[in-house]
Chain A
Amino acid sequence: MKRLRLFLGTELPVLAILAFGLGPWLWMMLTSVRPTLELTHSPISIIPGSFTLVHYITLLRRTSFLYNLRDSLVVASGAVVLGLLLSLPAAYAFSRFRFPGRHVLRIQFLVVNMFPVVLLVLPLFILMRQLGLLDTYYALIMGHATFTLPFAIWLMTGYMDGLPTELDESAMVDGATRLQLLRLVILPLAAPGVVAVGLYLFIASWNEYLFALMLAGRHVRTVTVALQMFIGENTINWGLLTAGGTLVALPVVFLFLFAQKRLVSGLTGGAVKG
């Protein structure tokens, strides 16, 4: 009886929510392995009649998708490196120093987070054109690293606040400079936090669409822009599209499941402590 109540009151609703949450994702993957014939005739059977990898093969052989994957990978990796180089020292300053303007600056970084992308993307386009960086990796890496910066600093400061300051003091007594301290003491201890922030930067950059469309798109074309362009073609090839979607989604899903706990505790840390 108790078991039945648990099932009806908790497990069944959770199953329903999971069906809603995972259904569209699973449906995309199921679509990507159907033969073309099944995708052009209504009604579509829920379970594929036969299984094929033809869409994946076409996608990787006949289209530029491999290059798009490479571009996305380069941009996202660059955004991770640049984002960490910018956010680590800033977080260290926020965590270890008390200086006039500290509070205002921390809030400033959050306000920056609020600016609509439409507000930024147009002047950034003009700026990148003046610098001759339009349609290069640099433009996208810089764009992605800055719009993710506020949250990266926020997360990173949270981790560093959790490290005892006695270590800093003893290292300083031993004659280490601040930079050595950051590199040799803080960085190894904050490694889990660095990994989490890095994963956040990677996912945010990999998933980003509007900057990738506006600041690049021809020579440097990330997967999100490429997939969107497939839609724009006259007849939508759903097999190709869902195969592309499945490939693009896989790494982020895995990375996200991996980083989830740390990202969530970083996200809610400030608010929970109140």
Chain B
Amino acid sequence: MKRAALTPWLFLAPALIATCLLVLGPVLETLWLSLHDVVLFRPQVRPFVGLANYVTALHDHTFWDGLGRSFVWVGAAVGLQFALGLTAALLLNRQFWWRPVARALVVIPWALPSVIIGLVWTWMLDFNLGIINQVGVDLGLLSGPVPWLAQPSTAMAAVILAITWQGFPFFCVTLLAGLQAIPREHYEAAAIDGAGAVRSFRYVTLPGLMPVMSTALLLRMIWVANSLDLLLVMTGGGPGTSTETLPLYAFLTAWSGANYGYGSALAVLLTLLLLAVVIFYAVRSGK
């Protein structure tokens, strides 16, 4: 009997040990570092400073600016990805003869590495040779070439465009799967009751999609809030600090600034914010 109770734990042991060693351990280490004054060039001396790093963050303009930019980044990127993904899913749920091909091809941006996505968009947004400036000027949409990534007023929008491109297929495929799970009879019943396209979308499609939609939104929000790759590749946070989101600020502080203690505190603050979002979601979906 005792042996039987132990069995599942033996199967779980490898995954648990790996997670403890390589995820939970580092998380605790970050917590510990965040309570100390740790800088790279004197690794032996790391005085305990309590919550001083957190207090510093609260008085740090760059922290608040980074947080603000993170809100813009997450809101705009997830919003646009969702809008485009939902549109694509609704279209790809209709009948046309080359639908299987379209469904397969639409996922391609999602499969590509962030570094390559950053590369491609940096190339397309290039001031001198970028195709976007060239076509924009030719069509009369732009009065002249725009240094998209080199000026603070457009850099954030340019990276958001790139991450929208990367992420919209995620919403498209997940929402499409959700659409296909809605039983046909529900639409037929709505039609018999005299519901038009708008009303059947409002009363059949939306409620049917709700579980998939909220899970997909949550997953993507966390992912976009944490993602650094595209920003690192395309702007590195610049020009100035115009694209420096909170995780990027934490990363640059710890890494380029060699200030592990403060960088760790910033990373912990980011985690707490995300945890709050997840708990809010769990409580709401639990109702």
Closest 6 pairs between A and B when the two form their complex, measured CB to CB: A256-B111, A123-B26, A207-B113, A97-B8, A123-B29, A93-B11
CB B236 to nearest CB in A, in angstroms, measures 10
Asked whether, in the complex, the Cβ of A256 is within 8 Å of the Cβ of B107, the reply is yes
Check: B153 CB closer than 8 A to any chain A CB. no
Rounded to whole angstroms, the CA-CA distance of A146 and B25 in the bound complex is 12
A118 to B30, CA, bound (A): 10
CB of A42 closer than 8 Å to a CB of B: yes
- Neighbour of A209 across the interface among B229, B271, B274, CB < 8 A: B229
Is the beta-carbon distance between B119 and A241 smaller than 8 angstroms?
A: yes
Q: Are B174 and A267 within 8 A (Cβ)?
A: yes
**Residue among B5, B131, B232 with most chain A CB within 10 A:** B131
The answer to whether A27 and B131 have CB atoms under 8 Å apart is yes
For B177, give its contact among A93, A96, A265 (CB under 8 Å).
Answer: A265
Q: Are B247 and A257 in contact (CB under 8 A)?
A: no
**10 A–B contacts, CB within 8 A, in A order:** A21-B106, A44-B129, A85-B14, A92-B11, A97-B8, A123-B29, A209-B114, A256-B111, A267-B174, A271-B174
Given A231-B119, A257-B104, A118 contacting B233 (CB threshold 8 A)? no
B-side contacts of A89, CB under 8 Å: 11-15
Contacts of B109 on A, CB cut-off 8 Å? 21, 24-25
Contact A122 B129 (CB under 8 A): no
Residues in A127-144 with C-beta less than 8 Å from chain B: 127, 142-143
| Chain B 111-151 residues near chain A, CB threshold 8 A | 111-124, 128-129, 131, 134, 138
Residues of A within 8 A of B (CB): 6, 10-11, 13-14, 17-18, 20-22, 24-25, 27-28, 31, 39-40, 42-44, 46, 85-87, 89-90, 92-94, 96-97, 99, 102, 105, 109, 111-124, 126-127, 142-143, 145-147, 149, 153, 178, 182, 203, 206-210, 214, 224-225, 227-228, 231, 238, 241-242, 245, 248-249, 252-253, 255-257, 260, 264-265, 267-268, 270-272, 274
Q: Is the CB of A18 within 8 A of B113?
A: no
Known: A17-B106, A249-B112. A86 touches B131 (CB 8 A): no
Contact A25 B113 (CB under 8 A): no
B222 neighbours in A (Cβ, 8 Å) = 113-114
Taken residue by residue from 14 to 39, chain B's Cβ proximity to chain A (1 for < 8 Å, 0 otherwise) reads as 11101100111111011001000000
Q: Is the CB of B112 within 8 A of A25?
A: yes
Minimum distance in angstroms from B160 CB to a CB of chain A? 14
Residues of chain A within 8 A (CB-CB) of B121 are 24
Q: Does B263 contact A (CB under 8 A)?
A: yes
B residues near A (Cβ < 8 Å) are 5, 7-9, 11-16, 18-19, 22-27, 29-30, 33, 84, 87-88, 91-92, 94, 96, 102, 104-124, 128-129, 131, 134, 138, 165, 168-169, 173-174, 177-178, 181, 211-212, 215-216, 222, 225-226, 228-229, 232-233, 247, 250-251, 254-255, 260, 263-264, 267-268, 270-271, 274-275, 278
Evaluate contact between B111 and A203: CB separation under 8 angstroms. yes
Residue in A17, A27, A257 whose Cβ sees the most chain B Cβ within 10 Å = A17
- B30/A127 in contact, CB under 8 A: no
Chain A residues with Cβ below 8 Å from B25 are 123, 127
* Assembled-state Cα–Cα distance A93/B33 (Å): 35
Known A-B contacts A178-B7, A268-B174; A31 and B111 likewise in contact (beta carbons under 8 Å): no
The interface residues of chain A lying within 8 Å CB-to-CB of B19 are: 109, 112, 146, 149
Are the C-beta atoms of B113 and A90 separated by less than 8 Å? no
| Smallest CB gap from B85: residue in A | A17
Q: A25-B108, A149-B15, A153-B15 are in contact. Are A272 and B181 (CB under 8 A)?
A: yes
Question: Which chain B residue has the least Cβ–Cβ distance from A38?
Answer: B129
Nearest chain B residue, comparing its CB with the CB of A264: B173
Residue of B nearest to A11 (CB): B96
Kindly report which residue of chain B lies nearest to residue A92, judged by CB atoms: B11
Q: How far is the CB of B193 from chain A (nearest CB, A)?
A: 24
Residues in B with CB closer than 8 Å to A143 are 22
Distance A153 CA – B119 CA, assembled complex (angstroms): 32
A93-B91 in contact (CB<8A) = no
Partner of A242, one of B92, B123, B225, B278: B123
Task: Give min CB distance, B263 to chain A, whole Å.
Answer: 7
Complex: how many Å from CA A260 to CA B111? 10
Rounded to whole Å, the gap between the CB of A193 and the closest CB of chain B is 16
Contact A21 B165 (CB under 8 A): yes
Enumerate chain A residues within 8 angstroms of B118, measured Cβ to Cβ.
Answer: 228
Chain A residues within 8 Å of B120, by CB: 24-25, 27-28, 242, 245
- A210 and B275 within 8 A (CB): no
Q: Are A146 and B23 in contact (CB under 8 A)?
A: yes
A118–B250 CB distance below 8 A: yes
Residues of B within 8 A of A146 (CB): 18-19, 22-23
Q: Are B108 and A119 in contact (CB under 8 A)?
A: no
A269 to B15, CA, bound (A): 22
Candidates A22, A97, A121, A228; contact of B115 at CB < 8 Å: A228
